[in-house]
Structure 1
Amino acid sequence: MGAFSFLSRLCDNKNRPPVSHVQKKFVLENCVAYNGAKVGEVMIGMKHLQAFVTVVREKSFSRAAEVLYQTQPALSKQVKALENYLGAVLLDRSEKEVTLTDAGALFYPEAKRILDTLTQAKGAIAELQGLKRGKLSLGASTLPGEYLLPALVGKFRKIYPGIDVEIKVADTREIINALKSGEVQIGFLGAPPVEPIFEAYPFSEDRIILIAPPHYPDRVTDLSWDQLILREKGSGTRQVVEEFFKQQGRSVEKTAGAMEIGSTRAIINAVAAGWGFSFVSHWAAEEALLLGKVKEIPYVAQGIQRLIYCARVLNHYHGCTAQAFWEFAKDNSQK
């Protein structure tokens, strides 16, 4: 983020004064670091502004030097360097009390605002590093997004209430693309990312079960596979089911009449309505099973097992907020 936009965001509310052009110019040219930016042979920086503002407040070079724990000659040299840089005399030194010139009166409020703004910025960064504030962008495929992430994020925000969290819920393929683009910082996926740019760890276990309307046969061998309802391509559930079928020497692609629906909840409702049968997460089907809207048909012992992964891109910058959540999720993993 550039200095202009950073300062504007810091001051973009009714409780803070607007950032003026003079402020922005000074920060851009001189406040890249506290040591300042070189102008000729003089280093102009925050100490020069602080010296000037303190002299104005104390109306005396000697008293200002005492406040800043400096010698008076050193302080005078700093103010003079600032005047040389601006090309204007800021202080009238002819009287016993130091007063502002016209140029000084124009520059003083700007200098004070720059100091106040950077003090606020330093405090904001300290709060960010202490996780008192910050933003976190998460992504999740449908199942972990609906059944795992809400509880996890809730626990995290109890510890760090100042962190704003955004969650994108989509299929696994879309979340992987969002991780690559930087749209989300951490993703929870129903299938492991295979590209070497990712690092991931198992977060939880899921069980994929076969559900059917209550009036359907209780044995798999009696089912008509042309009534199979599948999630769309790109979903983690679809990938797991396809891999399981492949291990069994079968192909989902060649299942005649198979229907695709892009929502697990919609699939469960379709099964309850008698459209066919489907493979879904046991988390998603739990309520419909308890209400007797659908039934589970044993397909393999304990269902088709899969892992839910927490993933991020290796070479992306991971700020302190994202890193804290990464470790928090790992500590709270159910695997």
Structure 2
Amino acid sequence: MPSLQDVWNVTRLRLLVELEKCSSLSQAAEAVGVSQPSASEHIRLLNAAAGEPIVERYGRSLRLTHAGRVLAVYASQALSNLTAGESALAARAGLRTGTLELGASSVPGTYLVPDIIEQFQQECPDVNVHVSVGSTAEVRQWLSSGRVTCAVTCGDMRDERLTVTALGPDEIVGVARPRFLDLSSDGYVDAAALDDFTLLVQETGSSTREYALGLLSGTDYSFRNVWELGSVDAVKRAARRGRGVGFLSTHTIADEQRRGEVVAFRVTDLPSPARRVCWVRLTRASVSPAETYFESMLRSHLSRAGGV
């Protein structure tokens, strides 16, 4: 019996996505551009490959089963990636001249963007690249003023003037010197264990800082002191020396963890923010080939790292 990997093609991917939208096989077939009998045969093949039904009869119409809805999510992602790939190749073909005006908040600007910029300039040497790195608040202002036309951020960028595309995860974790805290085997600590410790935070305007400052609010515990430091590196340095605990993006501490200089921890029963590495642009601005191709390189980098 063939597997799903054996039977997937673009028509079947699109058919699943359309069925989730309209719950009618005839409408889905029309949207994809095939006949209803052909659509029925596509569904039969997918049912067999999945090992269970992916659609079910509901009154006079069809709807996706739970298995079908799961597959539809991945079908939509696959189609999106194919479209992005086509756009990236088209953009790359036009990259002979131009300028990339890129902004980045501190985490991606320090720990993700430099390597991608290096690769971009090797592939597109005739494109001028200008990069501005600052806090999330500064990047928002740069986009609004036109100083940059696109940006990579990890903080909240909800703004009707901006189009934000999430590309990969950015988890915030606690950071401390090894054996500084009594951690569980899976790296957790109770909020009570943080009571009366010094909190190490980065610069004003950082979204990571805002999360850290509000972490213990609503609990019976509080940090003894707050040390405001000037950068992520300053927080890491203080944490390595046992001055307190910080909260930073996992992207920023990978090297220190590999060297055994810090440990990452999570706080029991306190949620981590659902942050994402995002690509941000002005909604009404035209998109240059350089922007399209750089976004594709960032997406590919995060995918290889397990981001999406």
Distance across 1 between alignment mates of 2:255 and 2:273: 19
Are the counterparts in 1 of residues 103 and 148 from structure 2 also a CA contact under 8 Å? yes
Please give the per-residue CA displacement for 1:252-291, whole angstroms capped at 9, x wherever unaligned. 9x75521111311110001111211111122222222232
Q: Residues 6-85 of structure 1: matches in 2 within 5 Å? A: none
Distance 1:184 1:196, change over 3 A: same
Match of 2:143 among 169, 174, 179: 179
Distance 1:135 1:300, change over 3 A: farther
Match of 2:247 among 246, 257, 279: 279
Distance across 2 between alignment mates of 1:314 and 1:250: 40
Match of 1:263 among 210, 231, 234: 231
Alignment partner of 1:232 is 2:203: yes
Aligned position for 1:307: 276
State the SS of the aligned residue for 1:315: coil
State the SS of the aligned residue for 2:242: coil
Aligned positions, number:
205
Distance across 2 between alignment mates of 1:291 and 1:304: 26
Are the counterparts in 2 of residues 134 and 321 from structure 1 also a CA contact under 8 Å? yes
The CA deviation at 1:315 is 2.5
Distance across 2 between alignment mates of 1:137 and 1:168: 8
The CA deviation at 1:132 is 0.7
Please give the per-residue CA displacement for 1:210-251, whole angstroms capped at 9, x wherever unaligned. 1112342314432334411112231132244456656xx359
Distance across 2 between alignment mates of 1:160 and 1:210: 39
Distance 1:158 1:300, change over 3 A: farther
Q: Greater relative contact order (Cα 8 A, min sep 6): structure 1 or 2?
A: 2
Residue type at the aligned position of 1:157: Q
Aligned position for 1:290: 258
Distance across 2 between alignment mates of 1:189 and 1:174: 11
The CA deviation at 1:147 is 1.6
State the SS of the aligned residue for 1:297: strand
Distance across 2 between alignment mates of 1:271 and 1:305: 24
Percent identity, aligned pairs only?
24
Distance 1:328 1:243, change over 3 A: farther
Aligned position for 1:101: none
Distance 1:146 1:282, change over 3 A: same
Aligned position for 1:169: 133
Residue type at the aligned position of 2:267: Y
Alignment partner of 1:190 is 2:154: yes
TM-score, normalising length from structure 2? 0.58
The CA deviation at 1:326 is 4.1
Are the counterparts in 2 of residues 231 and 238 from structure 1 also a CA contact under 8 Å? yes
Distance across 2 between alignment mates of 1:323 and 1:298: 36
Aligned position for 2:110: 146
Distance across 2 between alignment mates of 1:224 and 1:300: 14
The CA deviation at 1:180 is 0.8
Residue type at the aligned position of 1:163: V
State the SS of the aligned residue for 1:178: helix
Alignment partner of 1:322 is 2:286: no
Distance 1:223 1:239, change over 3 A: closer
Residue type at the aligned position of 2:208: T
Aligned position for 1:135: 99
State the SS of the aligned residue for 2:171: strand
State the SS of the aligned residue for 1:217: coil
Distance across 2 between alignment mates of 1:203 and 1:229: 28
Are the counterparts in 2 of residues 225 and 258 from structure 1 also a CA contact under 8 Å? no
Distance across 2 between alignment mates of 1:226 and 1:163: 49
Distance across 2 between alignment mates of 1:251 and 1:181: 43
State the SS of the aligned residue for 2:156: coil
Distance across 2 between alignment mates of 1:172 and 1:202: 15
Distance across 2 between alignment mates of 1:265 and 1:147: 11
Distance 1:129 1:243, change over 3 A: farther
State the SS of the aligned residue for 2:237: helix
Distance across 1 between alignment mates of 2:121 and 2:220: 44
Aligned position for 2:166: 202
Larger Rg: 1
Root-mean-square deviation (Å):
3.0
TM-score, normalising length from structure 1? 0.53
